[in-house]
Amino acid sequence: MRVEAVEGDITREHVDVVVNAANSSLLGGGGVDGAIHAAAGPGLLAACRELRRTTLPGGLPVGDAVATPAFDLPARWVVHTVGPNRHAGETDPALLASCFERSLEVAAGLGATSVAFPAVGAGVYGWDADEVARVAVGAVRAWPDATGTGTTTGAAAGRRRPACVELVRFVLFSPRVHDAFARALGA
């Protein structure tokens, strides 16, 4: 799997999956979440409302992930994940790692070969960009190769996962966050 970091706008990525740093309500918010909802159009909010009405009435748990169509985005799907909020005392790096692991599992389950991630947790949820980069890159690199025989770690421990993802691109909103990911990638 190729792993890279670029500075840019995740809503313009031509990949199979764009990962949304969502809140548990799935109904939009600020930062990456707000940008993805705005760019995807009203269909995304409708799909998220349907998830809340049916399978996720209590919202999406921290560290988990769920997919919707991408609607007006150039991607095929949006995989929503909820990062841990440091300001609320959610400081376990395993929860943060689970966001990346579960997003890859959901993407692979869709048959996706390319995934664009933001720096989940590095915005309003208060995680340091260097720590997010270290955890994110570690979680992605620990993901199994094309054999798909590995098992997850952290909150997703024990689950088998397919591995068809060939490209993971971290799309980062600022030079400071991009530099943190470049360091974590050894670039």
Distance in angstroms (rounded) separating the CA atoms of residues 63 and 85: 11
- For 148, the token pair is 């798909």
**Among the listed residues 49, 130, 71, 58, the one whose alpha carbon sits nearest the alpha carbon of residue 96:** 130
Catalytic residue among 9, 16, 33, 130: 33
- For 49, the token pair is 């409302």
- Looking at 41-164, list the stretches that DSSP marks H as alpha helix, in order from N- to C-terminal side: 42-53, 93-110, 129-142
In the DSSP assignment, the letter for residue 60 is P
- Active-site residue 33, yes or no? yes
Residues belonging to the active site = 33
